[in-house]
Amino acid sequence: MASPPPSVLAEAVERRLSSHQSQGPSPAEMAAEHVKRQKFRRLIDPGIMRPNPELEAIEAMKVLFKLSENLIREPDNPKFQRFKTTNTLIQKHIVSPKGTVEFLRELGFHPEVVDFQPFYIFNPKRMQDLKIGNAMLKESLEIQEQKKARTMGSTQTVQEARAEVIEKVQLAFMEDRRDKMEHDEREKQSRAARAEIEARKAAQEGRRESTQSNEDVIAGLGHVLGSASDQPPPYN
């Protein structure tokens, strides 16, 4: 039986490879990627987040994300394939914080001296590790942004509630003042009315006493005029 020609064998191999590629990663590859993701997550938290101040840790992750993002976008660009460790930004956000150098190494960068200058240089064979680490950095930064948004929302809610309480207290105070002013005005009018009534009563009483006094005087005069001493002598 004659063997198939090489071209047929090549086509069969190509079809088989294509079918494997179309089926996606194998279970073993997926398991290895899962392990790698978990390792990157641990390098972020607790690796970077726990030993550093929160803002410093977040800024360091942003720099790591930018380094990996540039290299994924332009893998053949030499300026993204290496950087000096003496760079001010690298010193502040990569060298100084705890846990960042370990993460950088896991991305695929390794230290090397070139022309007596210290560099971190990327190993192109670690591109898959770089992509996984980049995804984990993005995930962690998004979580931090959501946390910040919730905190700001909570703070805003507290401030709004506090402002509402203050407004209610002010309105209650103003209402109390208005009620007191109205009460004082009513008391003032009531006192004025009572004073006017008392004045009228006093005036009426004065007039009554004056009238009574005049009547008494007139009655007294009548009694004096009608006395026996004023009668004419009897007629003899």
| Span 147-167, average pLDDT | 71
pLDDT of residue 187: 80
Tens-digit pLDDT profile for residues 88-135:
999 999 999 999 999 999 999 999 998 889 999 999 999 999 999 999
Global pTM? 0.56
Per mean pLDDT, which of 7-11, 105-109, 200-204, 205-209 is the most reliable?
105-109
Could you tell me if 137 and 61 are in contact, meaning their C-beta atoms sit under 8 angstroms apart? yes
CA atoms within a 13 Å half-sphere pointing along the CA-CB vector of 198: 6
Could you tell me if 129 and 106 are in contact, meaning their C-beta atoms sit under 8 angstroms apart? yes
Is the CATH code 3.40.50.300 the one for domain 30-156?
no
What DSSP assignment string belongs to 71-91?
A: HHH-TT-HHHHEEETT-HHHI
What DSSP assignment string belongs to 158-191?
A: HHHHHHHHHHHHHHHHHHHHHHHHHHHHHHHHHH
Q: Which residue is associated with the tokens 């290496």? A: 82
Q: How many CB atoms lie within 10 A of CB 133?
A: 25
Torsion of CA 11, 16, 17, 23, to 10 degrees: 140
| pLDDT surpasses 70 at 24 | no
Tens-digit pLDDT profile for residues 34-83:
999 999 999 999 999 999 999 999 999 999 999 999 999 999 999 999 99
pLDDT of residue 189: 83
Q: What distance in Å separates the CA atoms of residue 222 and residue 225, rounded to the nearest whole number? A: 5
Burial of 139 (0-12, 13-18, 19+ CB in 10 A): middle
| pLDDT surpasses 90 at 168 | no
| pLDDT surpasses 70 at 2 | no
99's CB contacts (< 8 A; 6+ apart) are 43, 47, 48, 51, 52
